[in-house]
Amino acid sequence: MEKIYDNREFSWLKFNERVLDEAKSPLTPPLEKLRFISITTNNLDEFYMVRVGSLTDRILLKSNNSEKRAELLELYDNILERTAAFYEKQESVYKDVISELSKKGLQILTPGELTNEQLVFVKLVYIREIAPLLSAYIVDNTTRYPHLENKNTNIALHIKKKDKKLLAFIHKGNAIPKIIKLPSKSGLKYVFSDDIILKYAGKLFEGCTILEKVIVKVTRNADLDALEALYDEDVNYRSKMKDLIRKRKRLLPVKIEVSDKISVGLRKLLTNNLNEKILLSNKIPMSFGFLADIEKNLPRDKRDKLVFEKWVPRLPEWYSDEMSMTNAIMKKDIMLFYPFDSTKPFFKLLEEAAGDPEVSSIKVTLYRLSHHSRLIDILLKARDAGKEVVTVMELRARFDEDNNINYSEILENAGAKVLYGPSDYKIHSKVLLITKGEKYITHLATGNYNENTAKLYTDINIMTSNYEIGADAESLFKNIEDGNLKGKYRILSVSPNGIMKRLIKLIGKEIEFQKQYGNGYIILKFNSLTSRPMMEKLIEASKAGVKIQLIIRGICCLVPGIKGETENITVISIVGRFLEHSRVFYFNHNSEKRMYISSADLMTRNLERRVETAVPVLDFEIKNRIYHTLLVMMSDDVKARIMGKNRKYNKKETGNDINSQAYFCEAEDL
């Protein structure tokens, strides 16, 4: 029998390959292709920091029996092999993109390709701007192996000092630019600062012979056990999180990358008694922080050819600066579809609430915020105006902890109430509640309150004055404060108890409709599928004949198309200019059309280990609008990839020539 389930880690690695495909697409401008390569690098680093870090911890557990450890080791070795193969693909794509950029008048050169004039310039830059910010170390009896910061690039050298072969490092100051613009009479020309340091590395080790020199990057385990971060009456939670962040920076390496092949001797020295398998060759830039510097220097005539045309989110036809958003929402539910719709109506609503004497409180859940958050500014205004401001700040939003700690301190200092949620359950809900007299306005979303990602992520936002939804949101905030995860709700579904139960019940009803009327039909759009109970229920529905269409950007552990099991399930993944991020659950229900938007993916952690929300779409027009977007996405044959029963993703061959994201950009009204 064919396997119904795919391995989670392998499924994620395939997703990263789909992102890399965007760097090969003729529809992607060349500098944007570099950005997609950059995304795959960042994705892979995070995958190693979290997933491989966790796998490493599990391998080291003494409680594992030999059979379990062997299984984990096989998975670990397979991931490393697939990563090495991915780096080869990545290098090939990178070379093609660099060649394309060169033809467009933008060149990234190696020191060996520089003219004499450029070499003189580079030497001066090195002497004046780079060399003063370098530190050289030789690892010997008097100097220990230095700490290499997570994800930073350094220079590693194999040197001969007298008769001894030793390991040496060059550490770089953070002020060194990642890329240097070269003097040029035609086009834009650059050279990487790391390559310049490599060229002059020998100058820092006078009297030594340089045997080998490479750029090296260490990626460290970041899978800190969330249980360590729990707070009690004797521990300051925010202080504890700061300690954990500092600890993360010093955890053991899970991946070491070098810019070229190296000898066995240098390999052993670099891995420093660790598993040598974690050392991988990566011949493209290990960090793409230089992209911002290149784009900053682009002249207008080059910009149009090298990057996407600037996208300006549209203002809905019904919107005007003079209107009252509060009054508009009191009359009718309003939907915003980011990044195609502007965030302006949402922020206008908040500004109105902050200055409205009838508004008594604003409450919001916060997971990821921009570094200069307009939302926080408005909340501070509301607090200055004497309103109650309650924020549920999730300090464990991975890799955004520093930012959230900073904002929690600012809000507390302004007199806002800052809650951190119940113990070991992350708060991932996207809910904002405005209380105006005896009325509520509730904003519910599939994505974060972050104006920067609102320009890059596709997310659905609904603003409603429905009293029951508002009362449920009020209960949600009270339950979070009380640590009550089993609270009762009238309209909202709230995990860790409610969303899975609701979805399983809805799928069960769809099975009944299929048996009665033969019209069972489900569309689910989200980012990852790993929950075994959810997959088992979908298999049950497929066996009953229910047609199921899944739109899953990332991980999918359920294999579609298996006869007698998942033959009625199709899975597509859309990767494009914008990050697909919205979560929508649609059930035909004998043409009744029941629909929910949610903050939750169908993953074990979201459904069982987080506080998430799902809300029914009650407005008929909004429901049809969202349904239309789902149909367009399922017709996409430009950016969509369909998953086969062989677990591989291939381009759809339908001849529609539909790029769903481009369609949403061009549509006058969604």
Is there a contact between 255 and 52 (Cβ–Cβ < 8 Å)? yes
Q: Which residues, in sequence order, are bridge partners of residue 389?
A: 362
Distance CA 559, CA 553 (A): 15
Distance CA 366, CA 389 (A): 13
Six-digit token string for 621: 């027009």
Q: Is 581 a catalytic residue?
A: no
Residue at token pair 């991020």? 581
Say which residues have a Cβ less than 8 Å from residue 305's Cβ, sequence separation at least 6: 29, 30, 104
DSSP secondary structure letter of residue 49: I
Distance CA 490, CA 492 (A): 6
Distance CA 550, CA 557 (A): 12
Residue at token pair 């002020």? 175
DSSP secondary structure letter of residue 590: T
Six-digit token string for 291: 């992209």
**Catalytic one among 158, 371, 428, 443?**
428
Say which residues have a Cβ less than 8 Å from residue 517's Cβ, sequence separation at least 6: 590
Is there a contact between 615 and 462 (Cβ–Cβ < 8 Å)? yes
Q: What is the 3-state secondary structure (H, E, C) of 93-133?
A: HHHHHHHHHHHCCEEEECHHHCCHHHHHHHHHHHHHHHHHH
Q: Which residues, in sequence order, are bridge partners of residue 334?
A: 463
Six-digit token string for 569: 């399930």
Residue at token pair 């396997």? 3
Return the active site residues: 428
